[in-house]
Amino acid sequence: MKKPRPFRPETLWRWLRRRISGDRRVRSAFLWLCGRHLRLFRRRLAGRVMNRSEIGRLGEWIAARWLSAHGRRVLYRNYSGVNRGEVDIVARHRDVLTFVEVKTRTSTAFGRPADAVGTDKQRLIQRGAQDWLRLLGHPRIKFRFDIAEVVLIEGELPQVHVIENAFQLPDSSTAGR
């Protein structure tokens, strides 16, 4: 009878990386291995350095957990609209619908993460929000755009800062409502 092969860390890494966007249980196992929002941040996973997209996904997960822990109900994550719009997190905060853009950084040497949300990115988020509202049938509800800054520094707890009402829709976009 053949002896079972040991599950080496590099095999685990390849397996997780292949399935990161698939099964929810595999994705949650990956995030557990990366570190929970109350654990110290480690850039290495199974002996390998996480790349930028994995750090970004980890930051979005930490932000969603932080929002849930602070009284917001996360409705959807990574929404892609029909008109090339995208929103990282759609959440409800009391009676306000919030569209949250998450920016994750591993250093504050180049400024705050929110500084990276320029006018082009704001327009992309606004298009995604308008598509979301169109799906709901344009209800008359309050909504706002927030930015969640996640700073992950090696050996420290993640720092999350939410900027509420970070930017507005232009007046011309609400003319028909």
Q: Residue 102 forms beta bridges with which residues? A: 148
The arithmetic mean of pLDDT across residues 141-164, rounded, is 92
**Which of 36-40, 68-72, 94-98, 135-139 is the least confident region?**
36-40
With a threshold of 0.85, does the pTM exceed it? no
Architecture of the domain defined by 54-174: 3-Layer(aba) Sandwich (3.40)
Domain boundaries, given as residue ranges, for the chain: 54-174
- Predicted pLDDT at 51: 84
Q: Environment class of residue 6 by beta-carbon count within 10 Å: exposed (0-12), middle (13-18) or buried (19+)?
A: exposed
Strand residue runs (E) in 3-158: 44-45, 48-49, 72-80, 86-93, 96-105, 142-151
121-136 burial: b if 16+ Cβ within 10 Å, else e: ebebbbbbbbbbbeee
Assess whether pLDDT exceeds 90 at residue 72: yes
pLDDT (tens digit per residue) in 24-70: 555 555 555 554 445 667 777 666 788 888 888 889 999 999 999 99
Strands 96-105 and 142-151: parallel
As a whole number of angstroms, the longest Cα–Cα distance in the chain is: 74
